[in-house]
Amino acid sequence: MNISNADRAEILVHALPYIQKYTGKILVVKYGGNAMINETLKDSVVHDIVLLNLIGVKVVLVHGGGPEITEMLSKIGKKTQFVDGLRVTDRETVDVAQMVLAGKINKTLVNLIECCGGKSMGLSGIDGHMIKSSVKDERLGFVGNIEEVNPQPVLDVLEKGYIPVVSTIGCDDEGNVYNINADTAAAELAAALGAESLISLTDISGLLMDKDDPSTLISQVTIKETEELIEKGIISEGMIPKVECCTNAIKKGVKRVFIIDGRVPHSILIETLTNEGIGTMFEE
């Protein structure tokens, strides 16, 4: 696609108010779904994050990696069991989770950001005891419930101009390691950082009145309205915990929370630097 220099200048001028809104502010991006697996989408996400960083937005990338954990467990001959949609995580499984999340995925993302011209540093919830955790449910083993978030390691990295990439592994005072739900960790970290916005990349276009009809997108929703939508069954199953993480972040002071479609190239830039918005925005 050929774009004239005049058109490029016009695009930048239109983006100016949004750049001014976010410059110097913290933006937390929860990264998951197809955008983590599809190489083209992964490249799009990384370029979006580097661009935002270069115009002065303090971007924090929080990632999970459930499919990769399952794949590694399969390679070592270990079957994955789930209870109420959550992975049963014994000592061996949490060791694998730590290796995959804090090792392979985290460092791959750091490397991609660096290759795109950004400066990045990988962290996990263990670093600086950032995410202090406890057992969520005895049946699940080392699946963590977040007790406390120490944002200082992330703030220190941001102050030096780096993009923090945070893997969702937590720990307790006894040295036990826990696998943490990425949506929960992103919401709690965003609140602890006093973030301007939290963006959650998903594999759907946002909240839908009819889950089978993308044209029924709910572009804005209040906390009270989400409760009503849950009661009516419009928000159901796996979307309930995602939505609750979004509303909890709002309750704890995050100014804007979005669920957007990570399958759309450059969806982060579309949401932050245009007036169109492509997902669902949560508000009080």
Comparing CA positions, the residue from 278, 245, 273, 276 lying closest to residue 260 is 278
* Residue ranges making up the domain that contains 262: 25-283
Tell me if 277 is assigned to some domain: yes
Tell me if 188 is assigned to some domain: yes
Cβ 139 vs Cβ 176: under 8 Å: no
pLDDT digits (tens, 9 = 90+) for 139-182: 999 999 999 999 999 999 999 999 999 999 999 999 999 999 99
The torsion of the CA quartet 209, 210, 213, 218, rounded to 10 degrees, works out to 10
The answer, yes or no, to whether residue 276 has pLDDT greater than 80, is no
The answer, yes or no, to whether residue 278 has pLDDT greater than 90, is no
Cβ 234 vs Cβ 10: under 8 Å: no
Contacts of 79 (CB under 8 A, 6+ apart): 73
* CA 152 to each of CA 48, 149, 176, 191: distance values in angstroms, whole numbers, following the listed order: 25, 9, 21, 13
- Determine whether 182 is exposed, middle or buried from the number of CB atoms within 10 Å of its CB (0-12, 13-18, 19+): buried
The answer, yes or no, to whether residue 3 has pLDDT greater than 80, is no
Start-to-end Cα distance in the chain: 40
- Token pair of 44 as six digits: 């799009």
pLDDT digits (tens, 9 = 90+) for 177-221: 999 999 999 999 999 999 999 999 988 889 999 888 888 999 999
Give φ, ψ of 62 to 5 degrees.
-115, 130
Tell me if 15 is assigned to some domain: no
Top-confidence residue, 120 or 279: 120
pLDDT digits (tens, 9 = 90+) for 30-77: 998 777 888 899 999 999 999 999 999 999 999 999 889 999 999 999
The answer, yes or no, to whether residue 1 has pLDDT greater than 70, is no
Element (H, E) at 154: helix 152-159
- Determine whether 17 is exposed, middle or buried from the number of CB atoms within 10 Å of its CB (0-12, 13-18, 19+): exposed
- pLDDT band of 117, cuts 50, 70, 90: very high
Catalytic residue IDs = 30, 33, 66, 183, 242
> What number is the average pLDDT over the span 258-263?
92
- pTM for this prediction: 0.94
Tell me if 14 is assigned to some domain: no
Average pLDDT along the chain = 92
* CA 136 to each of CA 87, 139, 208: distance values in angstroms, whole numbers, following the listed order: 12, 9, 30
> What number is the average pLDDT over the span 128-136?
96
Total residues belonging to the chain: 284
Identity of the residue numbered 205? S
What is the total count of domains within the chain? Answer: 1
pLDDT score at 129: 95
Tell me if 191 is assigned to some domain: yes
Tell me if 138 is assigned to some domain: yes
Give φ, ψ of 204 to 5 degrees.
-130, 165
The answer, yes or no, to whether residue 236 has pLDDT greater than 90, is no
Tell me if 202 is assigned to some domain: yes
The torsion of the CA quartet 228, 230, 233, 237, rounded to 10 degrees, works out to 170
Q: Assign residue 60 the CATH number of its domain.
A: 3.40.1160.10
Tell me if 73 is assigned to some domain: yes
